[in-house]
Amino acid sequence: MNIQRWIARRETNWQRLDALLKKVEQKGLKSQRSAEIRELASLYRSVAADLARARTQKVGNTLTHSLQSLTTRAYTQIYQGSRRQEWQAALEFYRWGLPSVVQQTFAYIATATAVFLLGALIAWWYAWQDPTFMSLVVPENLISQVRDEHKLWMGSIVGIEPLASSGIMINNLSVSFAAVAGGMTAGAYTAYMMVINGLLIGAVGTLVGQNNLAYPFWAFVFPHGSLELPAIFFAGGAGFLLGKAILFPGKYRRRDALKFYGSLAVQLVFGIVPMLIIAGTIEGFFSPNPSIPDPIKYLAGIGLFVLLVMYCSRKKIK
């Protein structure tokens, strides 16, 4: 390869890329016209290829370093700018997009909530009518601890807060993702998950009520439950959205219905994850803390739920 001839032929591109980068570095990528952005990306790929050839042909350290500097600057502007836009899009979604999706899919979230509450009501009714029912839903060691020792179990979290918190997050995420994925069974498994979780909370709530431990139990549940339970209802709503697409696609072809309702379900999942992370942190560090008075825990739970309702009720002014 004739090095001097190659340099003369490629140098115009290098100078043009340098000129574009100086403009971008001064005014930002967004300030450039779309044609210039496309040209910048094209020149970046071209100069990156030139850098590879320069290294292969060993054309000299000075030129190689110059091309390396150009490609590094271009990479920084193209990809870091892209990452900034992604972060801005994520912030915009959590600021306005998620509340809009919650409002749009409220009927499905309400259905999941109703199925959960139905399970809780069934558990409450049968637990009072049939003493043997409790052992079908609640682990035997937990029943004996509450009935025989008149103690709650959340004291075991104290002292291992980080481990307990991470375990709680993983478990809640698993339950929520299972409820969402259950939509692919036409919503049947989603309904099952809602009923099972409702049965469990209803049975445990009845157990502690029968043994005069309801006040400290619900003081434990309120702070994290104000986010954890709505997140599970969101997951159930996402699952029912997928079930609707399969069973009742309406005016859409079933494939198109899955794309449309699936997009809404995915957006709900994006909302579930931070809710469960926050809830798991609260459940690990705040809810079981014996030094925090129960009235404070009730107030914290109520306050978080009110804030969540206000957040989900937001409407973007156009």
Residues in the chain: 318
Extents of the domains making up the chain? 3-88, 105-312
Listing DSSP states for 284-317 in one string gives HHTTT-TTS-HHHHHHHHHHHHHHHHHHHT----
pLDDT in tens, 234-256: 999 999 999 999 999 888 788 88
Q: Is the pLDDT of residue 206 over 60?
A: yes
pTM check: above 0.75: no
pLDDT in tens, 24-73: 878 776 677 777 778 888 888 888 888 888 887 777 777 888 888 888 88
* Residue 93 pLDDT level (bands cut at 50, 70, 90): confident
Q: Is the pLDDT of residue 81 over 70?
A: no
Q: Please, what is the average pLDDT of the chain?
A: 86
The two most distant CA atoms of the chain are separated, in Å, by: 94
Distance of alpha carbon 203 from alpha carbon 295, whole angstroms: 24
